[in-house]
Amino acid sequence: MIRVENLVKTYGSTVACNRLNCRFDAKKVTVILGGSGSGKTTLLRQITGLEKPDSGSVFFDDMDLTRASKKDLYKKRKKMGMLFQGSALFNYLNIFENIAFPLREHTRIAENVIKNIVTMKLEMVGLRGNEHLMPSQLSGGMMKRVGLARAIVMDPKVIFYDEPTSGLDPISTGVIGKLIRDLNVKLDITTVVVSHDIASSFKIADKIIILYFGDIIAQGTVDQIKNSTDERVQQFITGSPEGPIPFTRTDTNYVEALLADTDKSMEKMS
Amino acid sequence: MADLTVDHTDTLLFFAFSGRLDAAGIADVWEKAGNGLRQGNGPALAIDLSEVDYFDTAGAAFIAHLDKMALGRNWDKTKITGLDSASTALVERIRKAGPEPSPDTTAPTGRARSFVEKKGRSVADFLYDAHTFIAFLGEIFWAFLSSLAHPGKIRWGETLRVAEQAGANALPIVALISFIVGLVMAFQSAIPMKMFGAEIYVANLVGIAMVRELGPLMTAIVLAGRSASAFAAEIGTMKINEELDALTIMGLEPVRFLILPRVIASTLMTPLLTVFAILVGILGGAVVILSLGHPFVAYYNQVVGFVSWGDFTGGIIKCFVFGILIAATGCIRGYQTSQGPSAVGEAATRAVVSSIVLIAVFDGIFSILYYMLGV
C-alpha cells in the first residue's frame, strides 16, 4: 500500500529521517513508535506529502508522491484521512459542519444525504446527537472523536493518526484505541498511527516500527518487538530512565558551561 | 544581602565576606571582588567566610571562580577559611569540575561577530525573505490564472464575505481619514494662498492630490492596518491549529481555498474604497472653501475642470496593485507563522509593516512610471 524508500529529511543540522525504508501494508494497523524528537511526526508529514523530503521516495499505490504533480498528489489525498494531534477542527463551524465540510467541498451530494452520512459517522464515534455543539464546547477526547469522524467521512483507503492518545485520560485513550481498531476492521482501512503510548500501541498494532533519532531501530509484530534484544528497544518499552538512551542531549560539561558564562560577565565589567 | 571588605598586605590580598552569599548576595559583591582582584598584586588570595551566614551553590560557584581567577594570574593557592566541611566540599567539587585555568582570563573567549558579518547576515536574511515572498506571490498568481479557466471553482461565497468584512466594513474609517486629510490640506494651503487672493486654487490642489496620490495611498494604508493584519491573524491561527494541514490532507489547497478569495476580494474592493476616499476627501476640501465664502459650484467647476480622466485612471490602476499587495502580504505572513504563543501577533505585525513598505515602494514606482509615460 505505502512504501518508503531511502527517505532523508534534515532540518538544518538535525537529521529527522536518516535513509528510512519501511512499508505500511494494506488493511493493517502499523504503529510508528518513538520518543519525542525521534522523527516520527516528520515521517508522517513526508508520507502524506505535507512536506517534501530531501531525497528518497514515498510510494502510495505505486505512485511516487515525492515526484507526483500537484494535481496527482491532491487526487491521492482524497484517499487519505488524517487525525491531527490537536484535532484541527475548524473553530468557526459546529460539529455537523465540520464533518460535512469535505463532502460539501468535494461532492455534490444532496443536503439530506449529507445529513445521513454525518449521522452515521458520528454514531461510529459515539457522538450522535451532538451535531450542534461548537468545537470550543468539547473536551479533548471528544474533539479527537469528531476529528476522527471528519477523517473518515470521505471513506478514505488510508487513515493517519498523529499521536491520537496524547493528552487524553485513560478511558478516552481506551476509547480511541478501540475506535482505531474497529474502524480498521469494519471499513478495511489501512491505518498508520504515530504514537509514544506503548500500552495502547501494543493493543492495536499489527506491526510496529520504532524510530530513534531518525533511524528505524526495530520493526515487526508486537511479539517480535516485545522479545527484541536491542537494549534501546527494551528501554523504550519499559520506560526506564537508565539505559543506552541518554537523558541529556548535550556533551558539554554542565559546570564548565555555567562558569564560562560567569567569565564573560566578569570580563565585561573590566 | 552580602558585603565585602578588601584588604592588602605585601604578600596577601584579603577578602572578608559577610551576609548572605546566595544568587542575590553575590550580585552585590561581584563588581567589588572583581575589581579588587584585578587591582591587587598578590601573590596570594585569602578568603574569609566566617561572617557569612548563608552559603549555597551560587556562593560556592562565586568563590570557585575567584579562586580560578587568582590561579589564572599565577598566584599561589587561595586560602579559604571559615567554611564548614560541607560547604568546603561544595566549593572543592565545583573547582574540580571547572575548566583548567587559562593563563589570561581577561582575553576574550569566542569571536565577536564583526559589523560586516552582522550586516551581511541581515542582508542575506532579507534576500531570502524576498525570494520566498516573490515565489509565494507567483504561486498565488498562478492559482489565480488557472482558476480563471474554471471560475466556478473559485469560492465566491467566501470572496463576498471577505469583501464585506475587508471592504464594505472599512468604509467609515476610510471616509473619515480621507475627509480629514482633504479638510486639513485645504485649510493649510488656503492660508498662504489667500495672501495672493488665489484661494480658489485650493480646489485644484486638493483635487489633484486626492485623485492621484492621497486617495489611493490613504485607502491602502488603512486597509494594510485593517485587512492585512486580519488576514495574517486568521491564517496564522489556522496554521497553528493545524487547520491548514487538515485542508491539505482533505485535498483542498490552502492557496486556492483561503488565499485566493482574500486576494480577489481585496483587489476588487481597494479601488472601490478609493473612489469613495477621493470623493469624501474632495468634499472635505469643499467645506474649507465654502467657509471662505466661495460658492460650491465654483469649487466643483474648478476641480472638474482641472482633474483629468487620466489622473483618475492612474490613481485607480494603482489601487488594484495595492489591493493585491495588501491581501497577498497578509496571507503570506500568516502562512509563514511559526509555532508559539506570540507567533500570530508577530505575523500580524510583520504583515502590516511589510505591506506598508511595499505600498510605499510601489507608489514610488508608479510615480516614476506615470512621469515617464507622461500621464
Banded model confidence at residue A250, pLDDT cuts 50, 70, 90: low
Which domains does chain B possess?
3-97 (3.30.750.24), 147-373 (no CATH)
The predicted pLDDT at position B18 comes to 86
Which domains does chain A possess?
2-79+158-269 (3.40.50.300), 93-155 (no CATH)
Of A135-144, A238-247, B359-368, which range is least confident?
A238-247
Residue-wise pLDDT tens digits, B31-65 = 888 888 777 776 788 888 888 888 888 888 888 88
In angstroms, the separation between the Cα of residue B98 and the nearest Cα of chain A is: 5
Q: Alpha-carbon distance B186 to A221, whole Å?
A: 82
The predicted pLDDT at position A197 comes to 87
Which chain B residues touch A89 with a CB distance below 8 Å?
A: 243
Q: Alpha-carbon distance A26 to A28, whole Å?
A: 5
Residue-wise pLDDT tens digits, A4-33 = 999 999 888 888 888 889 999 999 999 999
What does residue B238 show for φ and ψ, rounded to 5 degrees? Answer: -65, -35
Q: Which of A102, A253, A256 sits opposite B250 (nearest CB)?
A: A102
Which chain B residues touch A154 with a CB distance below 8 Å?
A: 250
> What is chain A's mean pLDDT, rounded?
87
Interchain CB contacts (distance < 8 Å): A and B: 86
DSSP state for residue B169 in the 8-state scheme: G
A31/B contact by beta carbon, under 8 A: no
Tell me which residues of chain B have a C-beta less than 8 Å from any C-beta of chain A: 30-31, 34-35, 38, 61-62, 64-65, 68-69, 94, 97-99, 105-106, 108-109, 241-243, 245-246, 248-253
Q: Alpha-carbon distance A242 to B178, whole Å?
A: 70
The predicted pLDDT at position B104 comes to 47
* Residue bearing the bigger pLDDT, A235 or B173: B173
Which chain A residues touch B62 with a CB distance below 8 Å?
A: 262
Q: Which of B30, B98, B242 sits opposite A255 (nearest CB)?
A: B98
CB–CB of B245 and A50 under 8 A? Answer: yes
* Residue bearing the bigger pLDDT, B282 or B151: B282
The predicted pLDDT at position A257 comes to 74
Question: Searching chain B, which residue's CA lies closest to the CA of residue A150?
Answer: B250
The predicted pLDDT at position A261 comes to 67
CB–CB of A88 and B64 under 8 A? Answer: no
* Residue bearing the bigger pLDDT, A116 or B105: A116
A266/B contact by beta carbon, under 8 A: yes
What number is the average pLDDT over the span B77-93? 80
Which chain B residues touch A259 with a CB distance below 8 Å?
A: 61, 64-65, 68, 94, 98-99
DSSP string, B27-42: HHHHHHHHHHHHH---
Which chain B residues touch A50 with a CB distance below 8 Å?
A: 245, 248-249
A 209-248 residues inside an 8 A Cβ radius of B: none
Q: Which of A77, A256, A259 sits opposite B65 (nearest CB)?
A: A259
CB–CB of B99 and A88 under 8 A? Answer: no
Question: Searching chain B, which residue's CA lies closest to the CA of residue A270?
Answer: B35
Query: Angle at which helices B343-373 and B215-223 pack, to 10 degrees?
Result: 160
Residue with cell 495611498: B217
CB–CB of B61 and A86 under 8 A? Answer: no
CB–CB of B241 and A262 under 8 A? Answer: no
Residue with cell 534484544: A229
- Confidence check: pLDDT of B93 > 60: yes
CA contacts within 13 A on the Cβ side of A11: 9
Q: Which of B94, B241, B243 sits opposite A255 (nearest CB)?
A: B94
Sign of CA dihedral B111, B114, B120, B125: positive
Banded model confidence at residue B81, pLDDT cuts 50, 70, 90: confident
- Confidence check: pLDDT of A169 > 70: yes
Please state the ipTM of this predicted complex.
Answer: 0.82
Q: Alpha-carbon distance A64 to A58, whole Å?
A: 5
* Residue bearing the bigger pLDDT, A12 or B308: B308
Among the listed residues A20, A59, A10, the one whose alpha carbon sits nearest the alpha carbon of residue A219? A20
CB–CB of B38 and A270 under 8 A? Answer: yes
Strands A80-83 and A158-162: parallel
Which chain B residues touch A90 with a CB distance below 8 Å?
A: 243, 246
Mutate to test the interface with A, among B109, B240, B242, B344 (most CBs of A within 10 A): B242
- Confidence check: pLDDT of B148 > 50: yes
List the grid coordinates of B97.
569540575
CA distances from B255 to A16, A168, B17, B141, B144 (A): 27, 33, 66, 10, 9
The predicted pLDDT at position B107 comes to 46
Q: Alpha-carbon distance A65 to A158, whole Å?
A: 14
Strands A207-212 and A29-34: parallel
Residue-wise pLDDT tens digits, B331-355 = 999 999 988 889 999 999 999 999 9
Helix (H) or strand (E) holding B123: helix B115-149
- Confidence check: pLDDT of A193 > 50: yes
In angstroms, the separation between the Cα of residue B82 and the nearest Cα of chain A is: 24
Burial class (CB in 10 A: 0-12, 13-18, 19+), B291: exposed
List the grid coordinates of A259.
562558569
A 40-69 residues inside an 8 A Cβ radius of B: 48-50
In angstroms, the separation between the Cα of residue A194 and the nearest Cα of chain B is: 16
Which chain A residues touch B243 with a CB distance below 8 Å?
A: 88-90
What number is the average pLDDT over the span A111-118? 93
Q: Alpha-carbon distance A118 to A115, whole Å?
A: 5
What number is the average pLDDT over the span B140-152? 88
List the grid coordinates of B243.
487547520
The predicted pLDDT at position B10 comes to 75
Terminal-residue alpha carbon distance, chain A: 67
The predicted pLDDT at position A270 comes to 52
Peptide bond into A164 cis (omega under 30): no
- Confidence check: pLDDT of B270 > 70: yes
List the grid coordinates of B94.
565545583
